[in-house]
Structure 1
Amino acid sequence: MDLLNEVAHISGKSGLYKVLKPTRTGVIVETLDAAKQKSVVGGQTRISVLKDISLYLDDHQDSTLPLADLFLQIHAKFNGVLPIEAKKANDAELFSTLATVVPNYDTDRVFASDIKKILSWYLILVANTPELFPAAAKAEKAPKAEKAPVEKAEKKPAAKKAAK
């Protein structure tokens, strides 16, 4: 999940963005959706790269689970289809959904709004960057590999031209 180095959340904006390159005053970003709109984000704006975000665990004080690993666990459990609609789910549904994936998350430091963001980010990534999830990429390639090879008709050697 090295691609998460290029994916960021911009404070105050919805969705995820791909960081393209830095400028003198900020960075150029592109939306991770079908529109692929590019814009410049100023240096004062808070940008959080997904690679640097993690989920608090209950094991001990400094124990965390990187977001990349959490996305892989969510994908292994739900395979791109969540049992709830993250934006409309109530707090109990959000907490129980996360508990099915990570039973030892820290209930005191992880809030419903955090889970809502994580689940919505997961859906954005599954829809727009399926290469992040190797199991999905293998599943997409598998049906192509299962096709029976078409036998080619044997070619007859070309007739030699008569020498004049």
Structure 2
Amino acid sequence: MSLDKILSISGKPGLYQIVTQTRTGAVVESLIDKKRITVGAHSNISILSEIAIYTLAEEVPLRNVLSSIKTKYNGEQTDISHKASKDELEEFFFDILSDYDEDRVYASDIKKVVQWYNILQKNDLLGALEDEETADVSEEE
């Protein structure tokens, strides 16, 4: 499954995957507890493949940041919790993406990235990162 099918819904914890689309929105399934809910078109939904992290030079796709975390932790859960202190989170993120823009990337954003990575890892969805990178290389050729 690609990151195109994984969503973050504002006001709801965790990540969701699209089960099916409806006339007025979509039916999604929580990756945390597998419960299905219907979300309307009015909901503030972010697709993970469209999220990027600000750096001092450019915006880095979330997929690349998640891949860096996966490489550092050999595909295992991070040793830091999304509930860690602001300083611990910033230190962790500096190791992953050393040139991230500290003025525009907040501790709450780092918390989400850590939580999302751990949810994807727990649900064995980190393979989607390699699949998309391979597809990107094929499209460029």
TM-score range (shorter-chain normalised) is 0.7 to 0.9
Report the AA paired with residue 92 of structure 1.
D
* % identity of equivalent residues: 38
Deviations for 1:31-72, whole angstroms, at most 9, x for unmatched residues? 113x4221110111111000000100112xxx1110111100
What does 1:1-164 correspond to in 2, within 5 Å? Answer: 3-33=2-32, 35-59=33-57, 63-79=58-74, 80-87=76-83, 89-128=84-123, 129-132=125-128, 134=130
Report the AA paired with residue 65 of structure 1.
V
> Is contact 2:19-2:29 (8 Å) kept?
yes
CA distance in 2 between counterparts of 1:81 and 1:29 reads 24
Report the AA paired with residue 37 of structure 2.
S
In the alignment, structure 1 segments of 5+ residues that lack a partner are: 135-164
Residue 12 of structure 2 aligns to a residue in which SS? coil
In the alignment, structure 2 segments of 5+ residues that lack a partner are: 131-141
Q: How many residues align?
A: 128
CA distance in 2 between counterparts of 1:94 and 1:3 reads 26
> Is contact 1:75-1:133 (8 Å) kept?
no
Query: TM-score, structure 1 length as denominator?
Result: 0.74
CA RMSD of aligned residues (A): 1.4
Regions of 4+ moved over 4 Å? none
